[in-house]
Amino acid sequence: MSTTACPISFEPKINSTLLRLNAIIYIIIVWSSVLLHQPLITLLLITIFISKNININAKCLLDYFNKLIIKTFSIKEHMIDPAPKKLANAMGLFGSLMIFLALYFELSIWYIPVGVMTLAFFLEATFDYCIGCKIYALSQKLKY
């Protein structure tokens, strides 16, 4: 995946392979909260995205689990710039909050953020295509 590199970002690169494995688990979390109608399950995603928005390299339990999978199956790591993923994490946090509120208040519009997030996570996990990263790259082009 090629994304526009942030010229002023001094943060270390992040492992895209790890993020792709996380996306699979995010789909499971989102659908578990919907199918079990438990908005509190969505709080797990919210806390993950908050920690990742504060520090893109913050480690969560999923990262350690997925690093074990990468090591066990000798999956090649792919390092990328963190700046586009910050926007993607912010979008994930927003979507998670929308799902939580829709489920908590029993609103029937939960399927919109669930559908969008499932699509985004599926594209990330399957094709290494990050919608948030593409929006970030577009915003950088429009900026100049």
Q: State residue 6's pLDDT score.
A: 54
Could you read off the pLDDT of 97-125 as tens digits, one per residue?
A: 999 999 999 999 999 999 999 999 999 99
Whole-prediction pTM value?
A: 0.87
Could you read off the pLDDT of 30-59 as tens digits, one per residue?
A: 999 999 999 999 999 999 999 999 988 888
Could you read off the pLDDT of 24-35 as tens digits, one per residue?
A: 999 999 999 999
Where are the extended beta strands (E) located within the chain?
14-15, 79-80
The average confidence (pLDDT) of the chain is 90
Q: State residue 5's pLDDT score.
A: 52
Q: State residue 8's pLDDT score.
A: 53
Reported as a pLDDT band with limits 50, 70 and 90, residue 127 is very high
Q: Is the dihedral of CA 37, 40, 44, 46 positive or negative?
A: positive
Whole-number Å distance between alpha carbons of 100 and 30: 10
- Residues 6 or more apart from 47 whose CB is under 8 A from it? none
Reported as a pLDDT band with limits 50, 70 and 90, residue 3 is very low
